[in-house]
A = this chain, B = another copy of it.
Amino acid sequence: MSSVAPFRRIAVIGLGLLGGSVARAAQAHAIAVTGYDADPEVRARARAIALADAIADSAVEAVSGADLVVLCVPVGAMGTAARAMAPGLAPGVLISDVGSSKAGVAAALAEALPGHRVIPAHPVAGTEQSGPDAGFAALFRNRWCILTPPADADPADLARLAALWEAFGARVEVMDAEHHDLVLAVTSHLPHLIAYCIVGTASDLERVTQSEVIKYSAGGFRDFTRIAASDPTMWRDVFLTNRDAVLDMLGRFNRDLADLETAIRAGDGTELFDHFTRTRAIRRSIIEMGQDDARPDFGRSDHNGKS
């Protein structure tokens, strides 16, 4: 844990899984944190579980006196959220966010907050759960946080923001927003689209019942439903704001899938075996990088496997 807090007071706008986790992490580092959410029920719940030092009843009140504002709303709501809080912003305040697409967010914030210091960010972390109760301080530990500063960003601001995420346990990378969007299109957005798709396909068959799909889900389908249980609003906005990169990656995926289909149709076992062997190496690298663990996954509710 860092002993130096790079900010004195953080305002967190949007108190879902990510906003709640930012608030919890800030509290764990003894940084004053004020929260706000546009939904009164979420504010009430956030107060009940003491998600922040204070929960404000307006965005303007929440950002008052903050030297950092972190927008944790769906990426399609960034512009609206920024305009709502703008009158309360202190001079010199740094504005950041946690959105999963970055070029669209950068444009929306630049338009909504002219003259303000803005450095968009994306902690590549999450679970399939949503809402203020889902947040926890350790969410960012050992995960990457990508900062996408505009060309004219103040290096001191960038350093302070990086220090905050490092204090939260994240490893920080800096890249431009367009490259971020391309990388995340393949590592996150396309996987989610495909998972959402197959879960829909499976639930809409005539000769296989939905109860059979659920019953026999342990054969692989189960893992897709976890991803496809993610927040619908967040993901709708990701696909709408990162459309071009997602469509680019989807086009490549479609071509590769057509090749595998051709191999199956032709009974080409060599082609299939070669493809399936190649993909094993990637898995090994991910485990070596500490982004997942090697323990086998066989339905973790049982607590009955080898340890």
A residues contacting B by CB (< 8 A) are 76, 100, 124-129, 134, 136, 138-139, 141-144, 146, 173, 179, 182-184, 186-205, 207-208, 210, 212-230, 232-233, 235-237, 239-240, 243, 246-247, 249-250, 252-254, 256-257, 260-261, 264-265, 267, 269, 272-273, 275-280, 282-286, 289-293, 295-302, 304-306
CB pair A217–B276 under 8 Å, yes or no, is: no
* Residues of chain B within 8 A of A203, CB atoms compared: 278-279, 282
Q: Is the CB of A192 within 8 A of B220?
A: yes
Q: Which of B200, B217, B218, B223 contacts A278 (CB 8 A)?
A: B200
Residues from chain B with a CB closer than 8 A to the CB of A189 are 220
> What's the Cα separation between A76 and B134 when bound, in Å?
46
Q: Tell whether, in the assembled complex, residue A207 and residue B221 are in contact, meaning their CB atoms are under 8 Å apart.
A: no
For the complex of A and B, 3 pairs with smallest distance between CB atoms:
A188-B219, A127-B296, A293-B301
Closest CB-CB distance, A229 to chain B, in whole Å? Answer: 4
Q: So how many copies of this chain end up in the complex?
A: 2
Cβ A252 vs Cβ B214 within 8 A: no
A216 contact set on B, CB distance < 8 A? 124, 144, 146, 183-184, 187-188
Majority-rule SS of A interface residues: helix
A253→B292 contact, CB < 8 A: no
Least CB distance from A283 to B in Å reads: 4
A289 CA to B216 CA, complexed, in Å: 10
Is B195 a contact partner of A220 (Cβ separation < 8 A)? yes
A265 to B247, CA, bound (A): 8
B199/A282 in contact, CB under 8 A: yes
Give complex CA distance A278, B191 in Å: 17
| Cβ–Cβ contact A279 & B199, under 8 A | yes
Q: How far is the CA of A224 from the CA of B142 in the complex (A)?
A: 20
Q: Which residue in chain B gives the minimum CB-CB distance to A299? A: B292
| Residues in B neighbouring A276, C-beta threshold 8 A | 196, 228, 230, 232, 235-236
Which residues does chain B contribute within 8 Å of A210, judged by CB atoms?
282, 285
A187 to B213, CA, bound (A): 6
Q: Are B246 and A291 in contact (CB under 8 A)?
A: no
B286–A126 contact, CB under 8 A? no
Q: Quick check: B298 and A125 within 8 Å, CB to CB?
A: yes
